[in-house]
A and B are shown apart, each in its own frame.
Chain A
Amino acid sequence: MRDRGGPLKGIRVVELTKVWAGPYAGKLLAHLGAEVIKIESMSNLDEMRAYGGVDINSAPYFVSINQEILSVQVNMKTPEGLDLVKRMIASADILIDNIRPGAMERSGLDYESLKAIKPDLIQCAIKMWGSDGPLGYQTGYAPCFAALSGLTAMVGHEGETPKGMNIRYGDSTAGACAALACVAALHHRESSGEGQFIDLSAVETMTSLVGDSLFAWSVTGKVPEADGNYHPEMCPHGAYPCAGDAWTSIAVANEAEWQDLCAVLEAPALAADPRFADLSGRLANRLALDAELGAFTQRHDAAVLAEKLRNSGVPAFKSMSSLDLCTDAFLWEREAYRMVTDHRNGTRPIIGPSWRISPDPPLVERGAPLLGEHNAYVYAELLGLQEDEINDLIARKVID
């Protein structure tokens, strides 16, 4: 395999992952330089390869996640296939899965069994509720684990049923936390020679994102609720309507910012209004304040207003739609989006990693793999099989 550099160069990950959370963990490790091998088979495809009934080698959902991932085909329903998987795991540093609770154990891929063939293995299992316990058997979609976590209850317009974050929220963060725990475990192995089992709960991933609110509840007894855009120490604090159904977010933390906001909006009456003279007054009258502010912001283009406010020292940014994001010159220039190779179109833009690392940045250049694209590398180079052995495995659909 080519040298991609990066901080995780030399680390090998094997993944039995599907859909989003697991593949996202693999992606982050790959984007840090790890060699990540995804085990797949025709009879047990990642659903993302099939989404929309398109070509399994260019399915949009799949290729938008799995860049710099290697793909090897194995039919794990055959004993020989399972044995090959174990040999791959024996050559790896980390194994990640997010398949159904109990499935790894049924295949003899539980941590205790794998430790026998790879004593210092780091194994990470991503499940909705973790790997054991009274509800460990349950599975669910991302909005379910957001609801179970305590996060959904805290997101909504004030006084309404809490609707939570967008329905897509949750999987990717669970994957990010899995990657984080795996790299932490690499340090422990570096220090002690010992591997370990990491049991990740997607529900608790979401809970950890509201940790400060839960901790505060244990201190103050005040139950956190869906509170719109309320902030106890900033007012105005929210998204304000602008021309053409657009919105701009504004966060005012002190009196100077408040006066500057009123100046930019050419609203001297607001600036002088005794109801809004200080933070406590603005908080007490914030619904009235938001309505009055909205009447002013409505006259402006969202992006132009936000820029004017920032230039006056008031933190503000347009609330970005998907169209805004896709066409944002700053993001393209900074390589927040970048191009990778693509089997169908030659190149494809991807959402690049959130990090820049120097020197020795990890290269992210290759798009998602074809199914089995790296069979030869894995079987011949890693496992040392001969060509005729590989051909025989293909003929008997062990490699499938």
Chain B
Amino acid sequence: MTPETLGALAGLLVIETAERVSGEYTGKLLADLGAQVIKVERPGGAPTRRMAPLQGGESALFAYLNTNKQSVVLDLDLPAERAMLDRLMTRAHALIDDHQVDWTERRNLTPTQVAKTHPRIVHTLVTPFGQSAPASLQQCRSINVINAGGWAYHSPSETPQGKPPLKGAGRFLSDYEAGIDAALCTMASLLRLRRTGQGQSIDISEVEVQLNRIDCVLDRMLAGDADPSDTRTAYDMGGPGTSFACADGHVFLIMTTQAHWQALCILMGNPAWASAFRNDWLEFDCTAANVAAFRAEFSAWVAEQSKLPITEAAQKAGVAMVPVHTAVDLPRHEQFSHRGFFQNAEHPAFGAVAYPGACYRMSATPVRVRTPAPSLGADQREAGV
């Protein structure tokens, strides 16, 4: 690609008043796709500017969430500066927010007010439980959302009753999931705006994103095809698939068929213990006792193996066993390199960094980090405020 390649959303102006990760990630997805995203920050800067990890006083989280955005500072409690936001919104195509109702009411930025004053804007509001939820629910944080949506209770698979449900990977998994739906809806509505000239209000519930992602498991329970329960394993699939420790890390194995089992036996050199299992045990004799017996033997074998060579041999043998990659493995991984997922760049404060990119390679409009996250108020003049 050439540096002049425009993003898919070139020509669209988005104002971001969001100050939580869900809303800021929504803005990042749009900015990385080429929209002009002006981040409106309170005096002193968005709260994410101070969130861990800090390096040399700057937040790596903020630097990640705000690539390709511009920054203006407005004190929305002051009428004159609130009026400047209105001026920006008059030019803008979308407004991304993620505040609670008391915040939006105080600043005349409720969906009703925005629809009235700016009928030609797409107004997306991402909140933990969606509009109309009681205010006490909307204070919930990421870990509360992932627990409210059921994924925490059921993660990891096979967690015994006595161990706590988990928050997921990192601190913000539910925020990223919500950001995907929010950006999707915003873009869909922007398409309608381009065709009809009319804006819309979009209300995203972070908890409902969590529910939607488990549709074909939870809906069967809702509809009575399967029994809902209080068991921690209600979402599980059974079978021996799980992570195992190996000599230099971890591997993940999943097996469901006789062919998988036979291939694994060959990979292991047909150990004597394997003959205790029926050839078709995965399909017809996959009891808890057999799974436990298998895991005990397999764990001992795989503990001696090295992560990359054994998983490469497994792939060739038709065994679905893969390395559990860590952060260190990814940038040097041949497939990630081939696809250019990580973009090496120079960050003004951090020096050489690698930006994780988008999971979609778009042939005409590649996603790129064109500019690092802005310094506070960097675009005040250009934005005309």
Contact = CB atoms under 8 A, between A and B. Distances in A.
Nearest to B231: A321
23 contacts: A32-B184, A147-B325, A152-B252, A152-B324, A162-B324, A165-B168, A166-B236, A183-B184, A187-B191, A210-B170, A215-B354, A218-B353, A247-B147, A251-B144, A311-B136, A318-B148, A331-B208, A350-B219, A353-B208, A354-B208, A357-B185, A357-B189, A357-B202
Interface residues of A, number: 154
Nearest to A181: B360
Interface string B16-47: 00000000000001000100000000000000
A313 interface: yes
Contacts of A246: 230
Interface string A101-119: 0000000000100000000
B329 A150 contact: yes
A317 B235 contact: no
B371 to A, nearest CB: 15
A63 to B, nearest CB: 8
Contacts of B149: 320, 325
The 7 closest A-B pairs by CB, nearest first: A163-B156, A64-B219, A204-B359, A196-B364, A133-B338, A147-B252, A249-B147
A253 B221 contact: no
Contacts of A292: none
A212 B172 contact: yes
Contacts of B148: 249, 317-318, 320
A213 B168 CA distance: 13
B380 interface: no
Interface string B197-212: 0101111111111011
Contacts of A331: 207-208, 211
B293 interface: no
A177 interface: yes
Contacts of B14: none
B245 interface: yes
Interface in B186-241: 187-192, 194-195, 198, 200-209, 211-223, 225-226, 228-232, 234-237, 241
B188 to A, nearest CB: 4
Contact of B228 (A63, A143, A214, A325): A325
Contacts of B141: 234, 251, 253, 315
A160 to B, nearest CB: 9
B326 interface: yes
B219 A134 contact: no
Given A180-B180, A322-B229, 9 more contacts: A147-B325, A169-B155, A180-B29, A202-B359, A218-B352, A220-B55, A241-B162, A318-B148, A348-B223
Interface in A78-128: 111, 124
Nearest to B208: A354
A365 interface: no
Contacts of B357: 204, 208
B84 interface: no
A213 B324 CA distance: 16
A144 B331 CA distance: 18
Interface stretch (A222-230, A264-272, A387-395): A222-230
Nearest to B353: A218
Given A196-B365, A197-B363, A201-B359, A153 B324 contact: yes
Contacts of A28: 181, 184
Contacts of A61: 216, 220
B82 interface: no
A319 B147 contact: yes
B228 A326 contact: yes
Given A167-B157, A351-B219, A358-B201, A147 B322 contact: yes
B294 interface: no
B185 A32 contact: yes
Interface in B137-188: 137, 139-159, 161-173, 176-178, 180-181, 183-185, 187-188
A228 B170 contact: no
